[in-house]
Chain A
Amino acid sequence: MADGSLRKIGRFCLIFCKQKKNRTEGGCVCTATKIGRRGSGGGRERGFSTTTATTEEKRSPQQQHSQGNDNKKSSNINLFTAINQALRIALETDPRAYVFGEDVSFGGVFRCTTGLADQFGKNRVFNTPLCEQGIVGFGIGLAAMGNRAIAEIQFADYIFPAFDQIVNEAAKFRYRSGNQFNCGGLTIRAPYGAVGHGGHYHSQSPEAFFCHVPGIKVVVPRSPQQAKGLLLSCIRDPNPVVFFEPKWLYRLAVEEVPENDYMLPLSQAEVIREGADITLVGWGAQLAIMEQACVDAEKDGISCELIDLKTLIPWDKDTVVASVRKTGRLLISHEAPITGGFGAEISASIVERCFLRLEAPVTRVCGLDTPFPLVFEPFYLPTKNKVLDAIKSTVNY
C-alpha cells in the first residue's frame, strides 16, 4: 500500500519536474542541451550527437527494413517519440501485437504510448492493474499464444516483482518445454537510469541482474534513431527481450529518425567513434558522457575508440575484442554500481581474449556501490571527468 502511494508521488514529481524543465529550457530538447550540474567539470551533458547515428544508418542501409514507405523521409524527433513510432509500426504491421502496462492508455507517464489507444483501440493498447508480476505473467501467456506482447514496466526500478516471471518463466519457457512452447513474442520495455532528480526509485540501472539469465535478451538504445530500430527488432525477435530505455534522453535526445519501418540488428555492437589509443565500451545514456570524455581526451592528444554495445546479452564480444586488440586498452563505463555490474563481465572476457595485447589494466568507471542517491547524484554518477581521468591514467599507465 505504502509502496504504491510512494510510487504515485514519485510519478507525479517526475511529470512536474519534466514540465518545469521544459519551461526553463524553453521546451528545447535538442541534443546540444546542457544540464548545468555543479559547473562544467563534473557536469553531465546529456543526449547523443545526431551525426554519428545518422552516418551509421547511411553506412548500413542493408540493416534497414523497408515496408514500402519513402525511405528518405525522416524527421527530427526525441526519444519518446521514436519509441512511439516503433510501437505504432509494430501495431500497424502485426494485428497480433498488443501494448499494455500501467497508465499506457492515456499515453504513459513518459508519453511513449501517446495516441496508440485512440488509433488501435482499447483491446490492443490498454492499462493494467499496478502489478508488475501480473504484467509480465500476462505478457508471457499472451506471447505463448503467438502474439507480440509489448509490456511496459513504468520504471526499471519497479521491475523486481516481475523478476520471477522473467527469470523462471519467460527465460525458460522454450527450453523447458523442448521448444513445444515459447514466449518469444514478449518484449518488456522499462525506462532506466539517472534523470537528475529520481533518487533511489526512479534512477536505477538493473541491467546486470538480467544479464545473468540465459534465455532472455537485454537491449539498451543510446538515441532516438537507435531506439526505434532496436525496439522494432526486439518486438519481432523470436526470443523474450528486456528493453531498457534511457529515461533521461526521452525528451533530451533529438535526432533525425527515418519515418519508415526499419530494424537494427541485435547482438551487434557498433563502433561509434574510431580511435587508436583506448577502447571505451558503454550503452544507453552513458555513451553521451563517454563521448564528451573522448572529445576532451582528443584535445590532449588521446585517440579514443567508443563502442556502443547495444545488446548486453548475448553480447558482441568480437567487436570489442577486435577494438582492444587494436588499441591495447579498455575502459568500461555504466551507471549501475560497479560491483557485479556488466562491466565486470566485459572486463573478464576481454582479459581472457586479449591478455597479451593489453598495455594497461582494464578500467571501470561506474556508479558507486551505494543505493542511487538524490542529493548526492552528481557524486554517485560516472561523470565525464571521472571517465576522462580514467582514460588519461590508463593511457599513461
Chain B
Amino acid sequence: MAFWLSKSRSISSLLGKRIGLLTILHERKNGSFLQSRRDGVFGYKNSPEFSIKSATFSATGRRFKSSKTGEQVELPSSDEDDDENHAVDFPGGRVAFTSRMNFTSESSGKRIPCFRVLDDNGYPIAGSIFEQVNKEVAVRMYSGMVTLQIMDTILYETQRQGRISFYLTSTGEEAINLASAAALSPDDVVLPQYREPGVLLWRGFTLQEFANQCFGNEADYGKGRQMPIHYGSQKHNYFTVSSPIATQLPQAAGVAYSLKMDKKNACVVTYMGDGGTSEGDFHAALNFAAVTEVPVIFICRNNGWAISTPITEQFRSDGVVVRGQAYGIRSIRVDGNDALAVYNSVRTARQTAINEQRPILIEALTYRVGHHSTSDDSTKYRALDEIEHWKTAQNPVARFRKWVQGNGWWTDENESEFRSNIRKQLMEAIQLAARKEKPPIANLFTDVYEENPPNLVEQERSLGETIKKHPQDYPSDVPL
C-alpha cells in the first residue's frame, strides 16, 4: 500500500512537472524509432531514453486522472529518487529504490571511443600517454608483420596453385597479431581462434614449421590430421587451433584457473572474431572468467565481417567492448590497426590480469582485408573500394612502418632486403615441406585415445588388408 502511494505520488509529480514536454517527446518517439531502424547498429542519433519515458507517461497518465491524486500532484517532489534510506540488501548486494520507473537505455547514447596513439601517418598523437617500445622490440614487431604479410601472400598463392588444400590470411590484422604477441611473456598461454598465426610467429615458430603444417607432412606436429592453418605448438604455449568458433574461450577460463591455482606469473590470452561473440561460448567464457576471477585476456578482433555477415547483422550493441561491463569485466576498445595502441593495451591488460587476478576484454577494431579463406570470394558481398580503403589508407603495417622509420630504426634498404630474404626463406621452406613424406598411416589410429582400444586395432588391421587388395584406391604418398 505504502509502495503504491509513494509511487503514484512520484509519477504524478513528474507528470505535473513534465507534462508540457509530453507532446513533443511523443512526437519525437515515432521519428526516432524509424531513424534507429535506418541507422542500424550504430544509429545513436536518436534519444532512446526519451522515447521510453514518453511511452510510460502516456500509459500511466490516464489512470491518475480518475483517481484522487490531484492533491498529490501538488506535493513537492525530489529529483533525487535514489534514496539510500529506502534500499534493501538483495542477494548480490544493497540496491537503492527509486520511485521513477526508468528503463535503462539500450545504449549509452555515445559510442565507446577507440584508444589509439599513432595517427594515420604514424605520428604519435599529441598528448597521448603510452609506453615506448624500444628499437629492438619495434623492429621485431615490424619485421614480424612483414613476414606475416609475405607468408599470407605466398601460401595463399600456393593454395591457388593446388599445392595445399586450404589457406586463410590475416591481412589487415597484422598489428593485432604481432603487437599483442609482443606485449606478452612466453609463459602466457595462448588459446587462438585461427587468424592469429602472427602470435606463433613472434614466439619463434619457424617458416618451415608453418609450411609443414600447411602441407600436412610427416613433420607436421598435428600429424596431417587437420586442415592447413590449424597450427599448434606445445613448446610455444600455443594451443592447437580448432575450427569451431569460440570453443576456445571457456577453455581459456579453465586454463587461467590452473595458472591461478599454481600462482604462476602468467596469464591466458585468447582470441576471437566479432562473429564469435555471438556464440554461447563467448557468454559462457566471460561469465566464468569473471566469477572465477582468473587472469585471462579476451581479445576480440572485430574486423567487421564474419564471412559475409557484417557486424550490423551480428549484434545491436556498441560492438563488443560494452559487453564486458555486463559481466563485471574491465574492458577497452583499441584501434587494432595501431600496433602501439594494441601493444600498450595488452601490456597493461596483462599486468592487471596477473596482479589483480581478473579477466580483461579487449575489442580491437580492424578490418578483414582478405577473403574469409580460400573458399570465399568477399567481392560478392562487399564493395571493392571499401576493401581498397582498408588495404591502403588504413593499412596497419604501413602505419607502423612510418613510425619505425620515423625513429630512424628502419630504412627502405632494410625493407627490400628483408622482404626478399623472407620470400626466399619461405619458398625454400615450401619446397622442403612439399618434398617431405606424408605421416605414416598408423597416425590415422593413434591419439584417438592414449592407447589404441581393440576396435581401432581391429580396424587398422582390416584397413591394412584392404590397402593390400586395392592399392590403387589409396594415395601413394602416405607410407604404410
The residues of A with any CB-CB pair to B shorter than 8 Å are 98, 123, 126, 128-129, 131, 133-134, 136-147, 149, 161, 164-165, 168-169, 172, 174-182, 184, 214-215, 217, 238-239, 267, 314, 317-318
Do the beta carbons of B222 and A314 come within 8 Å of each other?
no
Q: Contact string, B234-260, partner A, CB cutoff 8 A, digits 1/0?
A: 100001101010010111111111110
Selected from B239, B247, B449, the residue in CB contact (under 8 A) with A314 is B449
Q: Collect the chain A residues with CB atoms within 8 Å of residue B449's CB.
A: 174, 215, 217, 239, 314
Residue among A164, A178, A184, A215 with the most chain B CB within 10 A?
A178
- Contact, CB under 8 Å: A267 / B453: yes
> A145–B449 Cα gap in the complex (Å)?
18
Q: Is the CB of A176 within 8 A of B287?
A: no
Cross-chain contact B450 with A238 (CB below 8 angstroms)? yes
Q: Provide the main secondary structure of the chain B interface.
A: helix
Task: For B220, list chain A residues within 8 Å (CB).
Answer: 178
Minimum distance in angstroms from B446 CB to a CB of chain A: 8
- Report whether A137 and B281 are in contact in the complex, using a CB–CB cutoff of 8 Å: yes
Q: A128: which B residues are within 8 A, CB to CB?
A: 288, 291-292
Contacts of A175 in B (CB 8 A): 225, 447-448
Check A177/B247 contact, CB under 8 A, given A131-B288, A145-B258.
no
In the bound complex, residues from chain A placing their C-beta under 8 Å from that of B230 are: 176
The yes or no answer to B472 lying at the interface (CB within 8 A) is no
Give bound CA distance, A174 to B189, whole Å.
Answer: 17
Query: Which A residue sits closest to B244, measured CB to CB?
Result: A168
B448 touches A137 (CB 8 A): no
A381 shortest CB reach to chain B, Å? 30
Provide the bound-state CA to CA distance between A267 and B452, in Å: 12
Q: Closest CB of chain A to B114's CB: distance in Å? A: 29
- Cβ proximity bits B432-452 to A, threshold 8 Å, 1 near / 0 not: 000000000001001111100
CB atoms of B258 and A137 under 8 A apart: no
Task: A392 to B284: give the CA distance in the assembly, Å.
Answer: 52
A267: which B residues are within 8 A, CB to CB? 453-454
A134-B287 in contact (CB<8A) = yes
Task: Given A161-B280, A175-B448, output 4 extra A-B contacts at Cβ < 8 Å.
Answer: A138-B253, A143-B254, A145-B259, A168-B247
Chain A residues near B261 (CB, 8 Å)? 98, 123, 147
CA distance A51 to B306 in the complex (A): 60
* Most interface-central of A98, A131, A149, A214 (chain B CB within 10 A): A131
For the complex, count residues of B whose C-beta is within 8 A of A. Answer: 48
Task: Compute how far the CA of A133 lies from the CA of B240 in the bound complex, rounded to whole angstroms.
Answer: 19
Instruction: Report the 7 A-B pairs with minimum CB-CB distance, sorted nearest first.
Output: A141-B254, A137-B250, A134-B284, A314-B453, A145-B258, A141-B251, A177-B240
Q: Quick check: A145 and B222 within 8 Å, CB to CB?
A: no
Chain A proximity of B442: nearest CB distance (Å): 13
Per-position binary interface string of chain B over residues 201-233, scored 1 when its CB falls under 8 Å from any chain A CB and 0 otherwise? 000000000000000000011110110001011
Q: A137-B281, A141-B255 are in contact. Are A181 and B240 (CB under 8 A)?
A: yes
Find the residue from B230, B232, B258 having the highest chain A CB count within 10 A. Answer: B258
Chain A residue nearest to B268 (CB atoms) is A141
Closest to B444 in A: A175
Chain B residues within 8 Å of A180, by CB: 221-222, 232-234, 240
The answer for the CA separation of A89 and B292 in the assembled complex, in Å, is: 24
Nearest-CB distance from A349 to chain B (Å)?
9
Residues of A within 8 A of B255 (CB): 141-142, 144-145
B369 to chain A, nearest CB (A): 28
List of B residues within 8 angstroms of A142 by Cβ: 254-255, 257-258
| Residues of B close to A146: CB separation below 8 A | 258
Chain A residue at minimal CB-CB distance from B255: A141
Q: Name the B residues within 8 Å of A138 (CB-CB).
A: 250-251, 253-254, 257, 288, 292
Question: Shortest Cβ distance from A171 into chain B, in angstroms?
Answer: 8
- Whether a CB of chain A sits under 8 angstroms from the CB of B455 is yes
Whether, in the assembled complex, B285 has its beta carbon less than 8 Å from a beta carbon of chain A, the answer is: yes
Q: How many angstroms between the C-alpha atoms of A145 and B255 in the bound complex?
A: 6
A361 to B77, CA, bound (A): 85
Give the complex CA separation of A188 and B454 in angstroms.
24
Q: How far is the CA of A182 from the CA of B448 in the complex (A)?
A: 10
How distant is the Cα of A35 from the Cα of B258 in the complex, in angstroms?
Answer: 45
Can you name 8 A-B residue pairings with CB atoms under 8 Å?
A129-B288, A131-B288, A138-B257, A144-B251, A145-B255, A169-B251, A178-B223, A182-B450
